[in-house]
Amino acid sequence: MTRRLDLELAAKAADALPADRIGKDLRTVLRSLPVMIRSHGLIASGAYLLSRADGDEGNRYRVAARAILADATASAGIRTRDGRGDALALLDALTASGSDQRYRLAEARARQFAIWLARLAEARFQAEEKARQEESAPRRVDAGGDAP
C-alpha cells in the first residue's frame, strides 16, 4: 500500500525540522517559504535559505534547504552531476536541469513540502512558547506555605 502524499511530506518535514528549538527567526522564515517559492521560484528561495546558513553544515537553514531541494529534485527526476546530495549541489542541479517541465514539477513539490514545514514549525514553536511561559510563571503557594 502506498503512503498518501500529505503524510509523506509531513513525515519528511518533521525529520527536517531541528529537534532542539525552532526559534522566532526560523519560524518566520519557514512561515514565509511557501509564498516565497511561489513568488520568486525554487532556485531563488533555496539560495536565500542557503545564504542564511552561514556555511555551517548543521545549520537549521541549510538542513531545511537540503530537505526541500532533495525532495523536490528527486520527485522531478533531477540528479546532481557527481551524485552529491548536499544543498548547494542540489541547487546547482536544479539550475542546470534545462527542463522547464522538470523545474515546474520540482517547484510544485517544494511548495507542498514548504507548507508542511511551516505548519509543523508553527506547531512546535507554539508548544515551545507555552512550555517557556509555564516555566517562567510564578508558582502559587497555598495558605499553608506549600506549593500545589
Average pLDDT of every residue of the chain: 86
- At 1, the pLDDT band (50, 70, 90 cuts) reads very low
Owner of C-alpha cell 515551545: 128
Measured over the CA atoms of residue 117, residue 26, residue 46 and residue 82, the dihedral's sign is negative
Q: Give residue-wise pLDDT tens across range 82-93.
A: 777 788 899 999
pLDDT at residue number 110: 96
pLDDT at residue number 38: 96
Sorted by where each begins, the domain ranges of the chain are: 5-135
**What is the C-alpha to C-alpha distance for residues 52 and 29, in angstroms, rounded to an integer?**
10
Helix (H) or strand (E) holding 127: helix 100-136
Residue 148 has pLDDT above 60, yes or no: no
Cβ atoms of residues 114 and 65 within 8 Å? no
**In terms of pLDDT, which residue wins out, 145 or 28?**
28
pLDDT at residue number 9: 92
Which residues, 6+ apart, have CB-to-CB distance to 91 below 8 Å?
A: 43, 46, 47, 50, 65, 69
CATH code, residues 5-135: 1.10.520.30
**In terms of pLDDT, which residue wins out, 133 or 139?**
133
Which residues, 6+ apart, have CB-to-CB distance to 124 below 8 Å?
A: 17, 22
CA torsion angle for 31, 17, 123, 107 (degrees, to 10)?
40
What's 22-58 look like in SS3? Answer: CCHHHHHHHHHHHHHHHHHCHHHHHHHHHHCCCCCCC
pLDDT at residue number 147: 55
> How much is the pTM?
0.81
Residue 118 has pLDDT above 50, yes or no: yes
Residue 41 has pLDDT above 90, yes or no: yes
Average confidence (pLDDT) over 84-112: 91
